[in-house]
Amino acid sequence: MRQYDYIVVGSGLFGAVFAQQARENGKSALVLERREHIGGNCFSENYEDTNINVHRYGTHIFHTNSEDIWRYVNRFTEFNRYQHRVLTTHKNRVYAMPINLGTINQFYGLNLKPCEVDEFIASKREGIANPQNLEEKAISLIGRDLYEAFIKGYTIKQWGCDPTELPAAIITRLPVRTSYYDSYYNDRYQGIPVGGYTPIFERMLEGIPVETGVDFLEDRDYWHRHARQVVYTGPIDRYFGYSEGRLNWRSVKFEYERLALEDYQGTSVMNYADVEVPHTRIHEFKHLHLEKAHTPNTTVIVREYACIDNERPYYPVNSEGDRRRLKAYQELQRREGRIIFGGRLAEYKYYDMHQVIGAALQKARKVMRGEPEAAAVETAGN
């Protein structure tokens, strides 16, 4: 086998962006992917003969405030004009999320004006001086009624435990909008790639050899011998053989259903706030692509269930123990030296897509062109 400048482990956004940048800078790269498809958790494909593009690992909305990241990603796709709005069903009625003036007026049967919201919410708060858990914290921020309707059941389903058992620090604030503004993201740029996400990866990886169905860790010495440097985007604890213990992840299970209906729920994502309903959300993907014709009288929905599953990592649990273990792994990583670790699994960090693109561009520009670190990164939470 020939020698490569980089062997990139993982074809998700971090790996694909890094490999693309390597090629653009005249370096050779080989991408190894454990799954049978490229694109990591952004992978999307058309469902059977429906022409409905489904996101296999949950609905992905692209959004960013960074001109640099937006310009970069637009080299590989055109975006439609989709704007994300989240709705939630509570006791068979549908409300806008995050809580806004419409949610409050509908829930309480009122017609408050924006200038009256703060005072109204303040009258609902219970004065808990030093909240000891998530429930107390939430009640101290928005009052018991809104907490029990919109936060409690959803949290129990997501975390698999009672909110009184969760630390108050999980939430610092619960946004309450004093207007009817119901767009989920505030970013300057937002949309869904017109052909779905997978073509972005096909274009980024054009001219770069990719081997799918290959687990780098099963033969790491072999691959190391054929690369000047390895870029690893898999789970950091697995890389080190779980020597410092396992990092915990929350996960989700998806249940697909094809229905002979034009439209099941009238929106792309519907949350279910009540604990009696076992799923947390229903996705209906055709609503992400209003520009596209789908097979008539057909829709595909996916019920999402939350669970804890370290084999299918989605969201870092990030408990105190996890943070301790992560530190120990980062120390091993520093000693290892010769490898670049990047992306959500290797950094044990919840990254949105624009953030992982920013992190990969920054890393690639630094190692290949010697540019300073600050180039493209947008901070978490944008």
Task: Compute how many residues bind ligand FAD; rule: CB under 6 A.
Answer: 34
Q: Can you tell me the distance from the alpha carbon of 218 to that of 85, in angstroms, rounded to the nearest whole number?
A: 43
Assess whether 250 carries a catalytic annotation.
yes
- 193: tokens are 């790639």
From the candidates 244, 274, 304, 322, give the one annotated as an active-site residue.
Answer: 304
Told to check if 35 binds ligand FAD by CB under 6 A, we report yes
Separation of alpha carbons 331 and 329, rounded Å: 5
Nearest to 77 by CA among 13, 11, 19: 13
Q: Among 281, 322, 325, 351, which one carries the catalytic annotation?
A: 281
329 vs 318: CA distance, rounded Å: 14
Closest CA to 34 of 244, 276, 277, 238: 238
Within 261-320, the residues that bind ligand FAD by CB under 6 A are 314
Q: Is 13 an interacting residue with respect to ligand FAD (CB under 6 A)?
A: yes
Q: Which of 173, 334, 335, 338 is catalytic?
A: 173
In angstroms, what is the minimal distance from the CB of 35 to ligand FAD?
Answer: 4
Please compute Rg for the chain using Cα positions.
Answer: 22
Active site residue 272: no
In the list 4, 6, 7, 10, the residue contacting ligand FAD (rule: CB under 6 A) is 10
> Binding ligand FAD by CB under 6 A: which of 233, 248, 271, 333?
233
Q: Is 350 a catalytic residue?
A: yes
154 CB-near residues (< 8 Å, 6+ apart):
88, 271, 272, 273, 280
Q: Which 145-204 residues touch ligand FAD, going by CB under 6 A?
A: none
Nearest to 58 by CA among 310, 289, 303, 342: 303
Question: Using CB under 6 A, which of 6, 7, 15, 69 touches ligand FAD?
Answer: 15
Segment contacting ligand FAD by CB under 6 A, of 37-45, 109-117, 146-154, 287-295: 37-45
Residue count of the chain, please give it. Answer: 382
CA distance 288 to 230: 36
32 touches ligand FAD by CB under 6 A: yes
What is the rounded distance in angstroms from the CA atom of residue 285 to the CA atom of residue 306? Answer: 19
Q: Which of 56, 250, 325, 344 is catalytic?
A: 250
Is 203 one of the annotated active-site residues of the chain? no
Tell me the catalytic residues: 173, 177, 250, 281, 304, 350, 352
- Residues found near ligand FAD in the complex (CB under 6 A): 9-15, 32-35, 40-42, 57-58, 60-62, 215-217, 233-234, 252, 314, 343-345, 351-354, 356
